[in-house]
Chains A and B, each alone.
Chain A
Amino acid sequence: MPNEHRSDLFPGALEMMILQTLRRGPLHGYALAQAIKQASDELVHVEEGSLYPALQRMLKAGWLSAEWGLSARKREVRVYKLTAAGRKQLERKVSAFERLLSGITKVMRASES
């Protein structure tokens, strides 16, 4: 199905992936979207319509900071960087996510057997 990889993410998933991706270093919006796509073997496609509002929300929450810089093609872009608060948030998110995932996995295994 062509729309398979565009399926809706669960709430907070996009934020978590953005935070995780930015942990490796600052990125601008387009590069961020590309990085997520590649890291997920193109299984996750970030919709721009969600990405930018999410970035703004995260700026407001103080998890990210933004500065204008240059892209690899020397184009003026806004570069996002993880803040200390963002790092903490990521840790919280990941542990919550792992608990959720292990829970789901158990349920899935139980019903299989």
Chain B
Amino acid sequence: MSAWRWLVGRRPAEEELRREVDAHIAERIDDLVEDGMSEADARTQARREFGNRALTLERSREAWIAPWLSSLAQDLRYAVRTFTRQPGFAVSVIGILALGIGPVATLFTFFNAILLRPWPVREPSSILIVKPVPTATDRYGTLSNLEYRYLRDHSRAFAQLGKSMGAGGAISYRDTKLDAVQWNYVSANYLDLLRVRMQAGRNFLPEEEDYASPRPVAIISDRLWREYFGGSPSIVGDALFVEGRPFTVVGVTEPRFFDVDQLRRDVWMPLPSQALRPIVKQDAILKMLADPHQTMGQVAGRLAPGRSSAEAVAELDVLGRQFRRSVGMDAPTYRLSSTRPASLQRDKLTRQLPVMLLMIGALLLVMLLASANVGNLLLARGLSRQREIAIRLSIGAGRWRIVRQLLTEALLLSIIAGTAGLAIGAMGLRIFVVGARPNPLLANPDLYMPDIGVSAFALAMALLTCIAAAVLPALRSTRIRLAGRAGDAAAGRAGAGRLRTMLLAAQLAVSMVLLLGAGLLTRALGHAMTADPGFAIHDVQAISVRLPDGASSARIAAFYQNLRQSLETGEYPMAALSEFSVLSGSGRFATLRRADAPLESGAGLLVRDVSARYFSVLGIPLLAGRTFAPFIDGGVHEVVVNESAARLFWPEGSPLGRRLYTGHDDTLRSYTVTGVVKDVPVQSLSEIRPVVYQPMAGGGLVLVRDRSRVAVDRIASLVRGIEPAATVTARPLADDIREATDGAAAANQFAWSIGAVALLLSTVGAFGVFSFSVEERRREIGVRMALGARPPQILWTVIGSARWALGLGIGGGLLLALLATPVLKRFLFGLSPFDPIAYAGVTGLLATAALAATWVPARRAAHIDPAVTLRAD
């Protein structure tokens, strides 16, 4: 037996001792009775002889456990008893703390998932991501396909090197059509490298990564197979249509594998099968895959047993130099990173840091709020327990002993609250992150479960908050002098009252700041929806065309050529084509340079394929020159640049007639600038980037400057005239704003949920404080009413006593908000961070809530019956 058993197995050990002692007394009684004593006398005698039974038990216990540990156990038992006597108090404290901790746990789980967790595969620690250090000509630090294959074939430090390139779109299997599925083009060894097992069929064969003739084979995820395709084992060998092209399903992965990105991926196809995509020309893709200058995708390697990453880097440097020299390129420098996103995407992390800090800041404020609230509750409770505490002090308990008792209560509460907060956190994340994605196919749910680190964090936060909230009240409520208790208690009360007012004011101020953040984001979203992005986004419809599944590349190319020609003629002056939607941020990235500039000086630019009328249809003003001539296969390309691109390349003069170059040797291409257009955003509403517009060669969206149904019908009949089986769908282009502000909408949702928690906490706090003060002043109010005060007067007296907390809270909150809201500026789409409507609205909201919270206790005060109150005292 150990001290531990005494504490945990409390009952048996304690119980045994008690039974033993009782048996002792009983034996003595029997002896005494045998000696001729009466039963009752014997009982008294035996008890007297035994002495203090409780003390004996206590000292026997101390043989096993140190006195402090024993008294901790005592404190805990006492705390549990106190809570079960007043469950309302315990529930409030736990609820408030859980509300404070829950959101923090949510955020921490989220950050953990997107930053700290390694890839969710077997033995992730031996996987390393291989990247060349970015250079001027290779800004993204990726490998060309040829280089990857060279490294893969020659590396000894890596047991395997695999490559992947993500993409997404529509797939269908039998009658099931799914519009937004993510897939991955992978090297044949990729799934094997990740140690993914197949539950049906087989993995890719090496010959299926055939760059000479791509094989249309696919592996699908367990979930896709089970939940969407009916789970029939006969799927292996069946045809799955990816972007309308048939692929033979060769395998199904094991359950719970969704690849390694935050987007879950459900289909895997060999790298060369990109050439089978309908939107590109097959030979162009195959040429790109064989071009050492075209870099793309992600390369990951699994270290061979016993090899270190230092050895791998050294080997890669040698191999890379060999390869690059053979194709006439400079020697690369490689960088290896672990699969933890934080080490993988350091740049992205730095960009997102301000947003994260803002979120963390907001949540810490909520924690503070919860802490102040709990502090107030503990303070009020300390006062109402003054009698109990005074008695304990007077019978000799040390002040430290009682403070420790109060802190133990706080500890117990915080452990329960931390656990509850964690539960709220896990739930919150499912709601916000997984639920926020419109398509459940895209979210990777397993990523967002709290792990041990998060749990420890939540508990530590709970502990910290609770202890911080408990210390001051505990010290204060034990500061009672034994003599003249009544007078001192009154003084203590006044002091506690001030502390309560300050705590309440602090809560209101914090809520004010948080609610203002939310209010401003909401106003900003409204502002963004109606704001003018610089082109006629509100007057344009985007019509997308869907061609029948299985249409050949030739048929698709012919269709779009036909459509382009029809739209370029005079019949449809208000229609244009664009490969991507305007605010989608999508496009091709190309490294372009001026004619007289060296190869390395190129700048990576967004290049968009649009038709010549794009600018007039969208109302993007042409500032100089003219729009380009339609696409001519093999001819000189004309391009239009935006102001930013013009400034970038020709800061000194007019760009008209100048040339831009891309590629070199046989990939060299040149473009002639024919016009300059005004800058318009291409992704978020505020982001202006240099853009080069080039004539459309493929297919895409039809944009019509006409909101009527008739306009859509005209385009639909044009489309069906060319391809009878095609279907069209139209949507307002302004929907793009909603997508472009998606992040802002999520931020707004986040801010409001935080704001709502803050409002709830401070309302509950105000309610608690005033209920308590009415309770405390019951006698005084009774006297006043006996002396003739009317109920309305009492009502206003109580509400009036809230004026300090309200005034200080709201005033302080406004001041804090004026200092803090400019941080939000970059999320406001041009709305002023001092937007008066948001300020007025939030002030009104908070004042109303706080007044409502005082109103209920005030009404209770006004209904106090003086006769009852005075008699009770």
A-B residue pairs in contact (CB < 8 Å), sample of 22: A28-B23, A29-B20, A29-B24, A30-B23, A33-B24, A47-B51, A48-B21, A48-B24, A48-B49, A48-B56, A49-B56, A49-B59, A52-B21, A52-B57, A52-B60, A53-B56, A56-B17, A56-B60, A75-B23, A77-B23, A77-B24, A78-B19
Contacts of A30 in B (CB 8 A): 23-24, 27-28
Per-residue 0/1 for A62-81: is the Cβ within 8 Å of any B Cβ (1 yes, 0 no)?
00000000010101111000
Q: Residue B234 at the A interface, CB < 8 A?
A: no
Q: Residue B50 at the A interface, CB < 8 A?
A: yes
Q: Residue B568 at the A interface, CB < 8 A?
A: no
Q: Residue B395 at the A interface, CB < 8 A?
A: no
When C-beta atoms are compared, the residue in chain A nearest to B24 turns out to be: A30
Q: What's the Cα separation between A29 and B28 when bound, in Å?
A: 11
Q: Residue A57 at the B interface, CB < 8 A?
A: yes
Return B427 CB to nearest CB of chain A, in Å. Answer: 47
Return A35 CB to nearest CB of chain B, in Å. Answer: 13
Q: Residue A24 at the B interface, CB < 8 A?
A: no
When C-beta atoms are compared, the residue in chain B nearest to A68 turns out to be: B16
Q: What's the Cα separation between A43 and B141 when bound, in Å?
A: 95
Q: What's the Cα separation between A31 and B31 when bound, in Å?
A: 11
When C-beta atoms are compared, the residue in chain A nearest to B62 turns out to be: A53
When C-beta atoms are compared, the residue in chain B nearest to A60 turns out to be: B63
Contacts of A49 in B (CB 8 A): 50-52, 55-56, 59
Instruction: Indicate if the CB atoms of A56 and B63 lie closer than 8 Å.
Output: yes
Q: Which 7 A-B pairs have the closest CB atoms?
A: A56-B63, A53-B59, A30-B27, A57-B63, A30-B24, A56-B60, A78-B20
Q: Residue B30 at the A interface, CB < 8 A?
A: yes
Instruction: Indicate if the CB atoms of B17 and A75 lie closer than 8 Å.
Output: no
A: residues with CB less than 8 A from B are 28-31, 33-34, 47-49, 52-53, 55-57, 59-60, 71, 73, 75-78
Within 8 A of A (CB), among B22-61: 23-24, 26-28, 30-31, 49-52, 55-57, 59-61
User: A30-B27, A73-B27 known; A52 and B64 CB under 8 Å?
Assistant: no
Return B48 CB to nearest CB of chain A, in Å. Answer: 11
Instruction: Indicate if the CB atoms of B27 and A71 lie closer than 8 Å.
Output: yes
Contacts of B52 in A (CB 8 A): 49
Which of the four size classes fits the interface of chain B? 20 to 34
When C-beta atoms are compared, the residue in chain A nearest to B19 turns out to be: A76
Contacts of A34 in B (CB 8 A): 31
Additional A-B contact list (7), CB under 8 Å, known A33-B24, A48-B21: A30-B28, A48-B49, A52-B59, A53-B56, A73-B27, A76-B23, A78-B20
- Checking B16, B55, B56, B62 against A78 with a beta-carbon cut-off of 8 angstroms, the contacting residue is B16
Within 8 A of A (CB), among B157-191: none
Q: What's the Cα separation between A48 and B17 when bound, in Å?
A: 13
Q: What's the Cα separation between A35 and B50 when bound, in Å?
A: 16
Return A3 CB to nearest CB of chain B, in Å. Answer: 14
Return B344 CB to nearest CB of chain A, in Å. Answer: 56
Return A50 CB to nearest CB of chain B, in Å. Answer: 8
Q: What's the Cα separation between A66 and B56 when bound, in Å?
A: 18
Q: What's the Cα separation between A75 and B64 when bound, in Å?
A: 26
Return A12 CB to nearest CB of chain B, in Å. Answer: 15
Q: What's the Cα separation between A108 and B59 when bound, in Å?
A: 36
Contacts of A47 in B (CB 8 A): 51
Return A65 CB to nearest CB of chain B, in Å. Answer: 11
Q: What's the Cα separation between A67 and B502 when bound, in Å?
A: 61
Per-residue 0/1 for B3-19: is the Cβ within 8 Å of any A Cβ (1 yes, 0 no)?
00000000000001101
Instruction: Indicate if the CB atoms of A52 and B17 lie closer than 8 Å.
Output: yes
Return A19 CB to nearest CB of chain B, in Å. Answer: 16
Q: What's the Cα separation between A29 and B16 when bound, in Å?
A: 13
Contacts of B61 in A (CB 8 A): 56
Instruction: Indicate if the CB atoms of B27 and A75 lie closer than 8 Å.
Output: yes
Contacts of B31 in A (CB 8 A): 34
- Checking A31, A48, A59, A75 against B50 with a beta-carbon cut-off of 8 angstroms, the contacting residue is A48
Instruction: Indicate if the CB atoms of A52 and B27 lie closer than 8 Å.
Output: no
Contacts of A60 in B (CB 8 A): 1, 63-64
When C-beta atoms are compared, the residue in chain A nearest to B28 turns out to be: A30
Within 8 A of A (CB), among B580-630: none
Instruction: Indicate if the CB atoms of B26 and A52 lie closer than 8 Å.
Output: no
Q: What's the Cα separation between A57 and B65 when bound, in Å?
A: 11
Q: What's the Cα separation between A59 and B63 when bound, in Å?
A: 9
Q: What's the Cα separation between A34 and B50 when bound, in Å?
A: 13
Q: What's the Cα separation between A77 and B21 when bound, in Å?
A: 9
When C-beta atoms are compared, the residue in chain B nearest to A57 turns out to be: B63
Return A101 CB to nearest CB of chain B, in Å. Answer: 28
Tell which of B16, B56, B61 has the most Cβ of chain A within 10 Å. Answer: B56
Return B855 CB to nearest CB of chain A, in Å. Answer: 60
Per-residue 0/1 for B380-422: is the Cβ within 8 Å of any A Cβ (1 yes, 0 no)?
0000000000000000000000000000000000000000000
Q: What's the Cα separation between A8 and B24 when bound, in Å?
A: 22
Tell which of B21, B55, B59, B63 has the most Cβ of chain A within 10 Å. Answer: B63
Q: What's the Cα separation between A28 and B266 when bound, in Å?
A: 73
Instruction: Indicate if the CB atoms of B20 and A52 lie closer than 8 Å.
Output: yes
Contacts of B20 in A (CB 8 A): 29, 52, 77-78
User: A47-B51, A48-B49, A48-B51 known; A56 and B64 CB under 8 Å?
Assistant: yes
Q: What's the Cα separation between A57 and B1 when bound, in Å?
A: 12
When C-beta atoms are compared, the residue in chain A nearest to B13 turns out to be: A56
Return B508 CB to nearest CB of chain A, in Å. Answer: 56
- Checking A28, A31, A48, A73 against B30 with a beta-carbon cut-off of 8 angstroms, the contacting residue is A73
Return B61 CB to nearest CB of chain A, in Å. Answer: 8
Contacts of A76 in B (CB 8 A): 19, 23
Contacts of B57 in A (CB 8 A): 52
Contacts of B56 in A (CB 8 A): 48-49, 52-53
Within 8 A of A (CB), among B43-100: 49-52, 55-57, 59-64
Per-residue 0/1 for B412-447: is the Cβ within 8 Å of any A Cβ (1 yes, 0 no)?
000000000000000000000000000000000000
When C-beta atoms are compared, the residue in chain B nearest to A28 turns out to be: B23
Instruction: Indicate if the CB atoms of B51 and A75 lie closer than 8 Å.
Output: no
Contacts of A71 in B (CB 8 A): 23, 27
Contacts of A52 in B (CB 8 A): 17, 20-21, 56-57, 59-60
